[in-house]
Structure 1
Amino acid sequence: MLGPSAHQDTFTRDNLPDEALWPELLLAGFDYPEQLNAGWELTDGMVAKGFGDHTALIGNGRRRTYKELTDWTNRLAHVLVEDLGVKPGNRVLIRSANNPAMVACWLAATKAGAVVVNTMPMLRAVELTKYVQTAEISHAICDTRLLEEMEACAAECDGLQVIGFDGTANHDAELDRLALEKPVMFETVATSADDVALIGFTSGSTGQPKGTMHFHRDLMIIADGYAREVLDVQPSDVFVGSPPLAFTFGLGGLAIFPLRFGAAATLLEQATPPNMIEIIETYKATVCFTAPTAYRAMLAAMEEGADLSSLRAAVSAGETLPAPVYDAWMEKTGKPMLDGIGATELLHIFLSNRFDDHRPACTGKPVTGYEAKVIGPDGATLPRGEVGRLAVRGPTGCRYLRGDRQADYVRDGWNITGDAFWQDEDGYFHFAARNDDMIISSGYNIAGPEVEAALLGHEAVAECAVIGVADEARGEIVQAHVVLAEGFAGDAALAEALQTHVKAAIAPYKYPRSVVFTKALPKTETGKIQRFRLKENT
């Protein structure tokens, strides 16, 4: 049963799916008071615990302490409530690249009791309009450098209020100027632990983003579960990474996790994969969050003598980590690489490797509080070693806005993630493919990522993506889209060499019968390869 809501605008509570369609929530060990506000917990609450003088945010040429972050977010919250009329439960969209100001705006809106929708700077007006209309968003807070598309969106959305903030070091925009006149004390809205705090839209790897609704307690659970158990976050940690804060992988790894434990979050707009090595060296980073494709780019950019001595964890998620990337990272750095899998629907990582237990081509075991199994089409648990659908349940779970396709994702109390996995005799989970990426050729089930991993073992391959394409004789054939490393030419001889290489690395029937050389692969901003776009063009 849901607790009493502090929301005056009841849109999110009204548009939760029927509780009978929710996954079973395993909340044992995650005890929070009935009233809980995640924004307060990560700011004022940290000052109350004695972290006021610790560095909270690094970016734009300065370091901000937890006391400074608390004062900043309280001033902003006053503006939202007093000048913009934000009511508890209103949806507030934030449009920005990764920078300290975006985090401050998110925390301020959360403290004011709003439901935040974080969005990426690359989105255009037509995409923003879909979000605004779907979530019935009333307010938008936008970096002034990105106002053009936001204002174009507002022209199509009656009643949407837009205010600009300065995402650079200058703090010279309307929101910032209004905040200067506000007090540093703010009475945080006493939201319920199960009031919706965040709507995360799926990244669109399947082409159709959906809104997922997360409670205030969920934001705490991912820190008190995964970040505490797997990462053992300490106040001395410095977090860096490239995933956008607009996605829950980035929001957790680059904001919630460090702020929950008194650590520092480094938020740099220039934190692109090729720059990450220098950033780790400069800021003595201890934890890095990014996707496998980014680690591959980091390895390519790594110069002899790179100093990664400060780094204690390289977290990989967003898509499967190919064994060649893991092996190359371990060989070149000696630093632990912790592969994990999460989902926007469950907010963050629920299967992971550990510091004392990590290996290539393995996603590890469930994070504390979660259970996982591999099931067949009828929902029955499959024997160890057989590939099937991954089913997960735990303290967080899928709640689609308006219940959109809820019954497709949640069955018999379990979240069915859309991933094909197998579990070995020792209980470790191994990724096979997205369910949509299983290729059936002449009756054989072929997992595209396995072929990709084999291709990545060839020196000529910088990146690749494997899809199934229609074939009259075989039903489907394996087609590889390959981005070549520098110095290689994409000709028939190299295509044949790659095919031979795959035949020698894995079962020969899995080799790509078609090889397409390309300059780049389509990706989401989180680095996920959009294989559906390759399929659309075949």
Structure 2
Amino acid sequence: MSLNNKTTDNFIFENMPQKNDWPNFINTNNTTINCVTSLLDNAVSEGYGKKIAICSLNEKWTYQELLNKVNQIANVLVDDLGLLPGNRVLLRSANTPMLAACWLAVIKAGGIVVTTIAMLRAKEITTIASRSGASIALCDVRLKKELKLTQSELTNLQALYFNTEVSAPLSLEASMAKKSVNFVAHQPLNDDIALIGFTSGTTGKPKGAMHSHNAVMAVCETFATHVVKATSNDVFSGTPPLGFVYGLGALLLFPLYARATVVLLENVNPQSFAEAIAEFKISILFTAPTAYKALLNFYENEIDKNKLDSLTKCFSAGEALPTYVSEGWVEKAGIRLMDGIGSTELLHIFLSVQNKTDPIGSLGKPVQGYEVCILDDNGQELGINQVGLLAVRGPTGCLYLNDKRQKNYVKNGWNITGDTAKMDENGFFWYQARTDGMIISSGYNIAAPDVEATISRHPSVAECAVIGIPNTARGNIVRAYIVLNESFLPSDVLVKDIQDFAKQQAAPYKYPRSIKFIDELPRTKTGKIQHFVLKEMVKQSTNKS
């Protein structure tokens, strides 16, 4: 990391990990261009100014209109809010066109963007704003209450609100109306930081992962180029929030990079999701396995099936994709779900299904530009079909903001993602579990996601989470926490039925010897199941007994 002489805010440089704790970056493209210039300004220069860039259910903006708004916001940031290169700017919103414009404007003006998802509350927002040292916030007016509570704790945090009436106090739109639609992009050095993405906290302690302008372009030049393969005729959409790196790439970076169109949706359910797909003729979809499971039901009758006719490519990430969901999409829709794995630390997907013929259930192969291998606990590479730690290196990698856990994530230049996997003789990778999700029972290694996938196929199960709990005879046994579908009630008979079903569908040693019915599963704000919360519940229960 080099110091840009134009940067007067050196917070990032002072909170970088030590150089010997950095990952080994490979296949990097060391350019010195602002990533927003590449994604947006150049699109207009190439003749896409009149093409629709971004839309919602209520509005549509062309590339030129988006550029004008971005430049106006950048002028507001610099002229009215005193933004200096390197300042961190907190963003608060659901997926809206204005959030996308603000994201682009912050980076174009030389700021570092810290996007938070709409569901966060004041305590969580305050933690992120404080840790990142954010001094400016741009916030959807509908989320004003929680930000105001944050400002009561962080009195130096100044804010403007968008999606407001121009006459409203502290209106970003009112400030924009007074500004020029021209703005000269800040010129970064090739390793200047563009964004900080905070992890969703499945371990309970969010970490800030920093990424440069080059990293932003790297995920476009790798996953978007070699796996998504979109054209300017494509229409993107999906459900992950822009405050989640999966959503950032899928619903902003990749569409702009392809000069395509993106449809941003808020608060969709399966029915409204399907209707939006039909209305906007969405061709490329990014969402999570639970949504694909729900959408699969639309193929049960011809009327609903037609709503999904425009889809050509569907990508899944965020949690394990059950094999039966993939098989269902191939059988009923003729579409292969492109499953992949990524992380906040790597910025996007680095290992992915890339062809329709890739074996269902696998994670595919490394995305071009990345190297992936399986290591043992001593850092030695393992052989074919041996389960070990998933290790990655490429043009992106882990740079935590002042966090001792950097040493745990990066070892000998490799990013150790916290996942276990194996590689078969054909070079395909197969996910096993999080490193804290492998259950050892009577000498058997049992991957929690495998059991979850099996149990989820039982007709009574709406969703489930599996952990290991201590057992004197076996060391650990499998416990399943199950949320039932509405038409089922908890009973001992149902417990036995689910257990028998699990024994029939998978190796009997994997079946859940303990089942607890629960109203809802603990989740992070981005929807990931918090298995550690369930484990803590077990500890507390054990201590009481």
TM-score (ref. length: structure 2): 0.94
C-alpha contact 1:243 1:290 (8 A) present in aligned 2: yes
Given the alignment of the two structures, is residue 41 of structure 1 paired with residue 38 of structure 2, yes or no?
yes
Q: Rate the CA distance shift 1:471–1:497 in 2: closer, same or farther, 3 A.
A: same
Q: What do the CA deviations read for 1:489-523 (whole angstroms, capped 9, x no partner)?
A: 33211211111121122221111001122232222
Amino acid at match of 2:236: F
Match for residue 257 of structure 2? 260
Match of 1:294 among 286, 291, 296: 291
2:54 pairs with 1:57: yes
Q: 1:280 aligns with which of 266, 277, 280?
A: 277
In 1: Cα distance, 2:355 partner to 2:76 partner: 44
Residue in structure 1 matched with residue 491 of structure 2 by the alignment: 491
Residues 121-270 of structure 1: pairs in structure 2 closer than 5 A: 121-166=118-163, 174-270=171-267
d(CA) in 1 for partners of 2:518, 2:474: 25
What is the rounded CA distance, in whole Å, between the counterparts of 1:136 and 1:420 in structure 2? Answer: 34
CA distance in 1, matches of 2:355, 2:128: 39
Q: Check 1:32–1:411 CA distance in 2 against 1; reply closer, same or farther (3 A cut).
A: closer
Pair 1:205–1:18, CA change in 2 (3 A): same
Cα 1:205–1:244 shift into 2, 3 Å = same
Residue 415 (structure 1) shift: 0.3
Matched residues in 2 for 1:474 and 1:168: separation? 63
Query: Quick one: distance in 2 between partners of 1:167 and 1:408?
Result: 44
Partner of 1:423: 423
Q: Deviations along 1:408-445, whole A, 9 cap, x unmatched? A: 00001100000010111111000000111111212222
Q: Encode CA deviations 1:463-493: one digit per residue, 9 max, x unaligned.
A: 2111111222222110011222343333211
Higher deviation after alignment, 49-58 or 110-119: 49-58
Q: Residues 455 and 461 of structure 1 are in contact (CA less than 8 Å); yes or no, is this contact kept in structure 2?
A: yes
Question: Does the 8 A contact of 1:69 with 1:104 survive in 2?
Answer: yes
The answer to whether the Cα contact below 8 Å between 2:342 and 2:350 also exists between their aligned partners in 1 is yes
- Deviation track 1:49-98 (CA, whole Å, cap 9, x = no partner) reads 22111110011422211111000100111011001111110000000010
Q: Sequence identity of aligned pairs in percent?
A: 46
Indicate conservation of the 8 Å contact 1:3/1:194, yes or no. no
Give the C-alpha shift of residue 395 in structure 1: 0.7
Identify if the C-alpha distance between structure 1 residues 440 and 492 changes in structure 2 by more than 3 Å, giving closer, same or farther: same
1:211-234 CA deviation, whole Å, 9 max, x = no partner? 000001111110111011001010
**C-alpha distance in 2, partners of 1:5/1:372?**
36
- Quick check: 1:292–1:316 contact (8 Å CA) kept in 2? yes
Q: 5 Å matches for 1:403-422?
A: 403-422=403-422
Aligned equivalent of 1:79: 76
1:441 matched to 2:438? The reply is no
Say which SS state the counterpart of residue 401 (structure 1) adopts: coil
* Cα separation, 1, equivalents of 2:113 and 2:129: 11
State the partner residue of 2:29: 31
Tell me, yes or no, if the aligned pair for 2:499 and 2:511 is still in contact at 8 Å: yes
Checking the alignment, whether the CA contact within 8 Å between 1:38 and 1:217 is kept in structure 2 is yes
Of stretches 272-281 and 121-130 in structure 1, the one that deviates more from structure 2 is: 272-281
* Partner in structure 1 of residue 363 of structure 2: 363
CA spacing shift, 1:5–1:375, aligned 2, 3 Å: farther
In structure 2, relative to structure 1, the CA distance for the partners of 1:522 and 1:417 (3 Å cut) is: same
Gaps of 5+ in 1: none
Contact 1:479 1:516 in 2 (8 A): yes
Moved more, 85-94 or 263-272: 263-272
- Tell me the secondary structure at the aligned position of residue 351 of structure 2: strand
Partner Cα distance (1:271, 1:216) in 2: 31
Q: 1:169 to 1:407 in 2, by over 3 A?
A: same
User: Which residue of 1 is the match for residue 325 of structure 2?
Assistant: 325
CA distance in 1, matches of 2:333, 2:283: 13
The residue number in structure 1 matching 2:541 is none
1:409 is aligned with what amino acid? Y
SS of 2:187's equivalent in the other structure is coil
When residues 222 and 87 of structure 1 are mapped into structure 2, their CA distance, relative to the original with a 3 A threshold, is same
TM-score normalised to structure 1 length: 0.96
Give a deviation string over 1:1-22, Cα, whole Å, max 9, x none: 6474642211112211112111
For 1:359-415, what per-residue CA distance to the aligned partner results, in whole angstroms no more than 9, with x for missing partners?
A: 321100000010111111111111211211101111100000014311100001100
Render the CA deviation track for 1:229-265: whole Å, top value 9, x for unaligned: 0010100111111111101100010000001110011
What corresponds to 2:93 in structure 1? 96
Which 10-residue stretch deviates more, 385-394 or 299-308? 299-308
**Residues 203 and 238 of structure 1: CA distance in aligned 2, closer, same or farther (over 3 Å):** same
* 1:518 correspondence with 2:518: yes
* Paired position in structure 2 for 1:312: 312
- Cα gap change, 1:150 to 1:173, in 2 (>3 Å): same
Amino acid at match of 2:245: T
Is residue 205–residue 528 contact of structure 1 (8 Å, CA) maintained in 2? yes
TM-aligned CA deviation for residue 298 of structure 1: 2.5
Would you say the 8 A contact 1:88–1:114 is kept in 2? yes
Q: How many residues align?
A: 535
Moved more, 251-260 or 293-302: 293-302
The residue matched to 1:331 in structure 2 has which SS?
helix
What amino acid maps onto 2:147 in structure 1? M
**Aligned residues of 2:299 and 2:332 also touching (Cα < 8 A):** no
Alignment partner of 2:78: what SS?
helix
- Distance, in Å, in 2 between the alignment partners of 1:427 and 1:374 is 11
Q: Taking structure 1 as reference, are residues 490 and 334 closer, same or farther at Cα in structure 2, changes over 3 Å only?
A: farther
CA separation of 1:419/1:188 partners in 2, compared to 1, >3 Å: closer, same or farther?
same
For 1:99 and 1:239, the matched residues in 2 are separated by 14
Work out whether 1:376 is the aligned partner of 2:376: yes
Contact between 2:165 and 2:171, CA under 8 Å: does it hold in 1? no
- Tell me how far apart the structure 2 counterparts of residues 352 and 364 of structure 1 sit (CA, whole Å): 5
1:67 matches 2:64: yes
Moved more, 356-365 or 420-429: 356-365
Return closer, same or farther for 1:411/1:5 CA change in 2, 3 Å cut-off: farther
> Which AA in structure 2 matches 1:226?
F
Contact kept? 1:318, 1:526, Cα under 8 Å: no
**8 A Cα contact 1:337 1:358, kept in partner:** no
Corresponding residue of 2:503: 503
The answer to whether 1:113 aligns with 2:110 is yes
The 2-side partners of 1:358 and 1:246 are apart by: 30
Cα distance change of structure 1 residues 449 and 470 upon mapping to structure 2, 3 Å threshold: same
CA apart distance, 1:39? 2.0
Instruction: Give 3-state SS (helix, strand or coil) of 1:277's partner.
Output: helix
* Structure-2 separation of matches of 1:177 and 1:284: 34
Shift of 1:274: 4.8
Give the match's secondary structure for 2:402: helix
